[in-house]
Amino acid sequence: MTSLNWKTINQLAIEGNLEPDFVIKKSDAEWAEQLTEEQYRITRLHGTERPFSSDVCEQVEEGTYYCVCCDTQLFNADKKFDSGTGWPSFTHPSKANVISYHTDLTLASPRVEVRCNTCEAHLGHVFPDGVGPSGLRYCINGVAMVKKEAPAETTAVFGGGCFWCTEAIFQQVKGVSAVESGYSGGDTENPVYRAVCSGETGHAEVVQVTYNPLVVSYEDLVRVHLGTHNPLTLNAQGADVGTQYRSVIFYNTDEERDIAERVIEELSLLIEKKLVTELSPLAQFYSAEENHQNYYERNTGKGYCQNVIDPKLAKFRKTFTHLLK
C-alpha cells in the first residue's frame, strides 16, 4: 500500500491519483434519483453539512464506512477518532486507492479535497493536524457515508487444480483465518480422494476459505484465485488432467455471483481470451481427508512442494503484495 502522509497526498493532488479498482459513472439525473436531496447536495454539488449535525460523529462501534453513492469501502471504524471539529474524522482510508485528492481553492487558503475514487463523490477534506503516525485528519461529511456493522467471518469456495496448491496460496492472504481442502460440485455424498481422482464423482478439488470481509474482500479473493492458476485450460492444470481439476468458483449469494462474473469479464477483456472458469452455486462442501489438510506447511521439503507449489507462491507474492499477511 502507498504510504500516505501530508507530502504524498499533496503530490497525488498535483501529479495525479492512484488508479481505483473500478470506476462508476452516472448522469446527474441518475444520481439525483438515487440519493436524497441532502446526500446529492453534499456528494454531487460539493456541499458541506453543518458541524455536529451527523450522528456518525458519536459512533464508536466496530464497523466499516462506505460511500453513500457507490458503496465503495472508505474507512474502518478503528481509524476513527474524535477531533472535536463536529465532523467525523479518520486517520487513514481502508485502502490507499479508494480516495482521490484534489486541490481546493474555494477559500482564501488552499485545501485538499477528498473524493471517492470510484464515483467522484465529494467526501470532505484532509488536513495535516491529525493523530497517529501519518498525522492526517480526514474530515468527512457524515451524510456522504453509510456505516455497516462488522460482519462475522464468512467463507468462499474455489477450485483451480490440485488443492494442495490452492490451499497454500490462500493461507498467505491477509484476513484469511482458515483454509480447508475438500470437494464440491458433484453428486456423490461424502466423497473420498481416490474416488474424486477417478473423475467419476463430478466433484472438483476445492478449498473453503474462511475470511474477514473487513480485511479482505470477496472480490480480492476472486482476483487471487484467477491470478494464481490457469483459468484458460478446460479441466486441466498443468499435468493434472480431469474434471476434478477444473477451474471453478462456487458462490454462496447472488452478490458473490455478480462480483465473480464482473471480474471474469474484466480479465477476459484484459487478456483478450475467454476464461473457462465455471461459476456455480455452492450446494455442498465436503472436507477432504486429514492427510490433505495443511499439506504444504507439513511437507515443504517434498519435491512436489518445491517444484510445483513454491513457484506458484513466488508468483502470488510478487503479484499480490498488497494482500500478503
Mean pLDDT lowest for which of 17-21, 53-57, 182-186? 53-57
Mean pLDDT of 105-119: 96
pLDDT computed for residue 140 by the predictor: 97
Tell me the pTM. Answer: 0.59
Phi/psi for 229 (5° steps) reads: -145, 180
CATH fold label, 6-149: 2.170.150
Active site residues: 139, 162
Q: Which residue has the cell 464497523?
A: 63
Statement: residue 1 has pLDDT above 50? no
Residues of the chain with CATH 3.30.1060.10: 154-323
Residue 154's pLDDT band, with cuts at 50, 70 and 90, is very high
User: 126 in helix, strand or coil?
Assistant: strand
The whole-angstrom separation of Cα 158 and Cα 154 is: 14
Statement: residue 223 has pLDDT above 60? yes
Statement: residue 157 has pLDDT above 50? yes
Inter-residue contact 178 to 168 (CB < 8 Å): no
Q: C-alpha grid cell for residue 60? A: 464508536
Mean pLDDT lowest for which of 58-62, 64-68, 137-141, 203-207? 58-62
Burial of 138 (0-12, 13-18, 19+ CB in 10 A): buried
Q: Enumerate the β-bridge partners of residue 102.
A: 113
The whole-angstrom separation of Cα 258 and Cα 73 is: 17
Give the list of residues 6+ apart from residue 228 with CB closer than 8 angstroms, or none.
160, 166, 169, 312, 315, 316, 319
List, for residues 235-291, the tens digit of each pLDDT value.
999 999 999 999 999 999 999 999 999 999 999 999 999 999 999 999 999 999 999
The string of DSSP letters for 127-173 reads ES--STTT--EEEE-GGGEEEEEPPPPEEEEEEES-HHHHHHHHTTB
Residues of the chain with CATH 2.170.150.20: 6-149
Q: Which residue has the cell 464482473?
A: 262
The CATH superfamily label for domain 154-323 reads Peptide methionine sulphoxide reductase MsrA (3.30.1060.10)
Residue 60's pLDDT band, with cuts at 50, 70 and 90, is low
Q: C-alpha grid cell for residue 284? A: 455442498
List, for residues 285-315, the tens digit of each pLDDT value.
999 999 999 999 999 999 999 999 999 999 9
Residue 173's pLDDT band, with cuts at 50, 70 and 90, is very high
Mean pLDDT of 3-8: 90
Mean pLDDT of 27-51: 97
